[in-house]
């Protein structure tokens, strides 16, 4: 190393070390800010709690959740490998450091939490889509994780995600779809959307949602169909009657207590 190289090296080392700062934050924790930037151009920080935990404060998964890619993250095939490689452990909503004995382990953790959201492409809501199916899934997920009293103690998030996923079933050469995956294998849950479409579109959409349960019932008379809808009164009378006749239960999300009804429909036999 010549003199010029040594000077530059020392300058880099000094700027990195001087760029690390700490300051007090809520709950008696301290924030450690680094000179590095994360996936959105903001300073990478971590938090040290008063009981000595090193954590991201839940920020990384909250970002992934708000980007509307949480399901992609949960089923990301590299998730376990990534967590191991970057010294991360998930404790419910936060990403904590796994081993903090070595400086390299801390640096790997910092790199991991700052890079993670960039692996997923955000799915922002736009004018082109009907948001109700996503809203219904979000409501169900929230109710299962936070309100449903008999949720499992171990990994309730994964359990809830499995219940709100769509399910397909092969039947004599055709495929039947349910918009969610209730524990009761003979139950089908259909989300009725298109509330802001024209009357003819609503009518057509609702009729199409009833076709799969009808076909499945031919093969299995035990099948029951639950419908999740925001407000049934905004659909044509003919569609309302048809839904009332074909569905075993209609859950209207406009009603108080409907969230828990959705959770029970998913989690109970």
Partner 1 sequence: MLRREPPVRLDPVIYDAWLGESPKAIEGGPLELVRYPLYCGDDAVKLDARRVSSDILPSHYANTLFISGFYNEYEGFKIYVKPDGFDYLLMAHQTHSGPFRSTDGRRFEDHPHFHELDFDHRMDGAPGTRRVVPPALGAGINSAALLEAFLSHYYFDDGRDNEIKMPRREELQTGLEEYL
187-226 footprint of partner 1 as x/- string (CB under 8 A): ----------------------------------------
| Nearer of residues 70 and 235 to partner 1, judged by Cβ | 70
CB 30 within 8 Å of CB 22: yes
Instruction: Give the CA angle between residues 42, 47, 48 to the nearest 5°.
Output: 160
If one counts every other C-beta atom within 10 angstroms of the C-beta of residue 93, the result is: 15
Site for partner 1 in 133-172 (CB under 8 A): 138, 141-142, 145-147, 149-150, 157
Torsion of CA 68, 187, 160, 132, to 10 degrees: 20
Phi-psi region of 52 (alpha: psi -120 to 50; beta: other; left: phi over 0): left
Q: Which of 117, 111, 40 is nearest to 72 (CA)?
A: 117
| Nearer of residues 125 and 183 to partner 1, judged by Cβ | 125
16-45 footprint of partner 1 as x/- string (CB under 8 A): -----x-xxxxx-x-x-x---x--xxx---
Does residue 115 touch partner 1 according to CB under 8 A? no
Does residue 122 touch partner 1 according to CB under 8 A? yes
Residue 255 CA to residue 214 CA, distance in Å, equals 27
CB 112 within 8 Å of CB 88: yes
The only residue of 92, 158, 185, 249 in contact with partner 1, by rule CB under 8 A: 92
Does residue 67 touch partner 1 according to CB under 8 A? yes
Residue 93 CA to residue 79 CA, distance in Å, equals 15
Nearest approach, Cβ of 126 to partner 1 (angstroms)? 4
Residue 92 CA to residue 151 CA, distance in Å, equals 14
Does residue 131 touch partner 1 according to CB under 8 A? yes
CB 207 within 8 Å of CB 243: no
The only residue of 7, 81, 129, 155 in contact with partner 1, by rule CB under 8 A: 129
Nearest approach, Cβ of 226 to partner 1 (angstroms)? 17
Q: Which residues contact 77 (CB under 8 A, 6 or more apart)?
A: none
The only residue of 167, 177, 205, 264 in contact with partner 1, by rule CB under 8 A: 264
Does residue 237 touch partner 1 according to CB under 8 A? no
The only residue of 36, 68, 119, 224 in contact with partner 1, by rule CB under 8 A: 68
| Nearer of residues 114 and 213 to partner 1, judged by Cβ | 114
- Residue 170: enclosing H or E segment and its boundaries? strand 167-171
Residue 243 CA to residue 250 CA, distance in Å, equals 8
By the criterion CB under 8 A, which residues form the site for partner 1? 21, 23-27, 29, 31, 33, 37, 40-42, 47, 55, 57-59, 61-63, 65-68, 92-94, 121-127, 129, 131, 138, 141-142, 145-147, 149-150, 157, 256-257, 259-260, 264
């Amino acid at each position: 190393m010549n003199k010029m190289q040594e000077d530059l090296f020392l300058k880099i080392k000094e700027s990195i070390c001087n760029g690390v700062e700490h300051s007090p934050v809520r709950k008696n924790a301290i924030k450690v800010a680094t000179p590095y930037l994360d996936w959105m151009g903001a300073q990478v920080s971590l938090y040290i709690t008063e009981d000595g935990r090193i954590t991201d404060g839940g920020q990384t998964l909250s970002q992934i959740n708000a980007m509307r890619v949480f399901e992609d993250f949960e089923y990301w095939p590299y998730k376990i490998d990534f967590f191991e490689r970057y010294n991360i452990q998930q404790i419910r909503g936060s990403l904590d450091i796994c081993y903090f004995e070595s400086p390299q382990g801390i640096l790997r953790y910092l790199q991991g939490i700052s890079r993670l959201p960039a692996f997923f492409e955000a799915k922002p809501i736009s004018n082109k889509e009907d948001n109700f199916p996503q809203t219904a899934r979000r409501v169900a997920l929230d109710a299962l994780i936070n309100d449903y009293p008999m949720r499992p103690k171990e990994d309730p998030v994964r359990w809830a995600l499995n219940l709100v996923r769509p399910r397909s079933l092969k039947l004599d050469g055709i495929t039947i779809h349910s918009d969610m995956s209730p524990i009761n294998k003979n139950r089908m849950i259909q989300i009725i959307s298109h509330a802001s479409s024209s009357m003819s579109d609503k009518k057509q959409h609702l009729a199409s949602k009833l076709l799969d349960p009808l076909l499945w019932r031919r093969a299995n008379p035990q099948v029951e169909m639950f419908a999740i809808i925001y407000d049934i009164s905004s659909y044509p009378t003919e569609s309302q009657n048809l839904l009332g006749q074909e569905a075993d239960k209609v859950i209207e999300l406009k009603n108080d207590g409907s969230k828990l009804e959705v959770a029970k429909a998913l989690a109970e036999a």
